[in-house]
Amino acid sequence: MTFLVIGESVADIVRAPGRPDVAHPGGSPANVAYGLARLGRDVALLTQLGEDPMGELIRTRLVRAGVRLLDDGQRGVRTPTAVVSLDADGKASYAFDIAWTLRPFVPVEEPRHVHLGSIGAAAAPGAAAALAIAESLRGRATVSYDPNVRPALMGDRPAALAQAERCVATADVVKASDEDLAWLCPQEPEATVAERWLGMGVALVLVTRGAAGAAAYTRGHTVTVPAGAATVVDTVGAGDAFMAAALEALLAPVPGHEVHVGPQRRERWARLTASELTELLRQATAAAAVTVSRAGANPPDAAELERALQAP
């Protein structure tokens, strides 16, 4: 397989002023897997879903998009839910009902790339298993991580930062929002955090800044781009669409370098030029712009992303 995504699937119950509640399939890792499948990539998701209506809602959406679903063999789990409250500007806040109990897992087919993050990389007891899987595969696959901070579930800030940086130390690509960084590292400028993470062995740090665009940091370059033009309906899933589009671009075949093992890709990403980083950010922010223009975590397919990139 090309991608193995590890983490939670969540039924997002979206609540907005003056509108009835609407349930959408969600969960940051599940959204990333869905976004990659929408872009035509081969992806499996290791997650936990219950045999209940919300689980069926999520399962149906993922399978129809082409995501292969994996589990650790546990039965009797329940599908996590989150009430997503939207303010007048479409900005989301979350209240979760989730348990994450992932057990050790060995994939039958090894991936080229592993992605983990959010609750699945933070909440005990399952976070330890998720990180162990990524660590076991890193010698052969590349790894990405998105802390996707949920303060209500993160507990003590120093402990949450320590867990996040254990994941950072395993990753080749880290994506975080400016809000993630403000919560995890409130006394540090963005560039200082990025520099520390690069020093821990990360090849590429990506930072999303909402309406202010995004930035990419390597040891050789810092590049920023503006946000893609969009009329915002809501911001649910925007960061996950960004992540999926960035990973799709990073794992796309490179003429003359179609076959890479993990260490070769890692080194290639660390040496991306400023123009390559700009193009990567342009694709990722375009995917996020499409997503915020419609309700729920609804990332673009390949044709929609191409049209967004061609728009003036």
pLDDT tens readout for residues 61-103:
999 999 999 999 998 898 998 887 877 776 777 788 889 999 9
Q: What percent of the chain has pLDDT over 70?
A: 96
For residues 45-52, give the mean pLDDT: 95
pLDDT band at 256 (very low <50, low <70, confident <90, very high): low
SS3 3: strand
44: CATH: 3.40.1190.20
DSSP per position, 217-278 = E-SS-EEEEPPPP---S--TTHHHHHHHHHHHHHTS--TT-----HHHHHHHHHT--HHHHH
The tally of domains found in the chain comes to 1
pTM of the model: 0.93
Q: Which of 7-16, 108-117, 192-201, 283-292 has the lowest mean pLDDT?
A: 7-16
In this prediction, residue 90 carries a pLDDT of 66
Q: What per-residue confidence (pLDDT) applies to 254?
A: 66
Task: Give percent of the chain above pLDDT 90.
Answer: 73
Could you list the residue range(s) of the whole structural domain that residue 243 is in? 3-310
